[in-house]
């Protein structure tokens, strides 16, 4: 049995590591904020004293962080004392070009790397029902896949280095339209005086149905803006999408529009709230805005 490490125990990483532990894997974890490791520690999971110690002790290391810079910084520490051929699998959403750079850097140092961003939201992480886009060598992905299936319903190779992040960018571009459609539709219904709960139910059962309508719709009805996926994190992902689209010469006008609307939403004090809080911004706007 491989010795498995997991770094990054936030809204997504915490439940993912929990599923690995429940599946009986030999697991060691580390988190910048030690308190987030306490539930796993209480369940008998080892907590490393440092990232360097975790990297040295494990054969397979998963990371679930935030920005490209964070991933590079953590991997620098994790690989400091790691054994040759250690496999690192990153579940963060980062720039595709950064993922390619990491692949090349770790390869020259004798390590292996898979960029494996996730989708499915915090609910998917809690239920072990995530989808994972894997970029890298087929053999490395095949080695990591049985472990990933502890917290994912599907994990697929989508191409070589960086392809996982390119697929995640395509996913986030689709998410932009989905969240806007939900919030725009229901803010219109609210201003029209319609029964909002009934409207959402009916729309969700027809051609307007979507993951956002099913999962964010009830939160919107309750005006429950707890994350979920935070506005500030969605903005980070959109910046990566827009930068990559610019490099590719790809038109993503809808994403640019939603990015601007979420910047307004953030300026109204909603950076830490779920992206469905865009509803509030649209409710405050008039037709000509």
Catalytic site positions: 168
**Contact by Cβ (8 Å): 119, 171:** yes
- Alpha-carbon span 221 to 223, nearest angstrom: 5
CB atoms within 10 A of CB 154: 13
**Contact by Cβ (8 Å): 170, 245:** no
81 in helix, strand or coil? coil
β-pairing, 112-115 vs 87-90, is parallel
**Contact by Cβ (8 Å): 155, 148:** yes
Per 3-state DSSP, the chain is made up of helix, strand and coil in percentages (nearest 5) of 55, 15, 30
Beta bridge partners of 28: 5, 46
CB atoms within 10 A of CB 139: 10
């Amino acid at each position: 049995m491989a010795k498995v490490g997991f770094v990054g125990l936030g809204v997504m990483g915490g439940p993912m590591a929990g599923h690995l532990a429940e599946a009986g894997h030999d697991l060691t974890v580390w988190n910048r904020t030690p308190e987030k490791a306490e539930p796993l520690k209480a369940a008998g999971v080892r907590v490393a004293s440092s990232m360097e110690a975790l990297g040295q002790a494990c054969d397979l290391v998963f990371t679930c962080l935030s920005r490209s810079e964070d991933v590079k910084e953590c991997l620098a520490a994790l690989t400091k004392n790691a054994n040759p051929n250690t496999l690192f699998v990153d579940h963060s959403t980062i720039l595709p070009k950064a993922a390619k750079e990491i692949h090349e850097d770790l390869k020259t140092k004798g390590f292996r790397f898979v960029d494996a961003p996730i989708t499915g939201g915090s609910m998917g992480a809690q239920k072990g029902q995530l989808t994972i886009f894997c970029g890298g060598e087929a053999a490395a992905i095949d080695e990591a896949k049985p472990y990933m299936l502890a917290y994912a319903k599907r994990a697929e190779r989508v191409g070589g280095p960086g392809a996982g992040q390119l697929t995640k960018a395509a996913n986030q571009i689709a998410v932009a339209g989905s969240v806007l459609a939900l919030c725009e539709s229901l803010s219109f219904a609210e201003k029209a005086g319609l029964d909002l709960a009934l409207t959402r139910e009916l729309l969700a059962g027809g051609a307007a149905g979507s993951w956002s309508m099913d999962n964010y719709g009830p939160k919107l009805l309750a005006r429950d803006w707890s994350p979920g996926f935070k506005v500030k994190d969605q903005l980070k992902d959109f910046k990566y999408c827009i930068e990559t689209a610019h490099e590719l010469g790809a038109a993503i006008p809808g994403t640019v529009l939603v990015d601007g609307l979420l910047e307004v939403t953030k300026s109204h004090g909603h950076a830490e709230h779920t992206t469905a809080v865009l509803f509030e911004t649209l409710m405050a706007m008039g037709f000509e805005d």
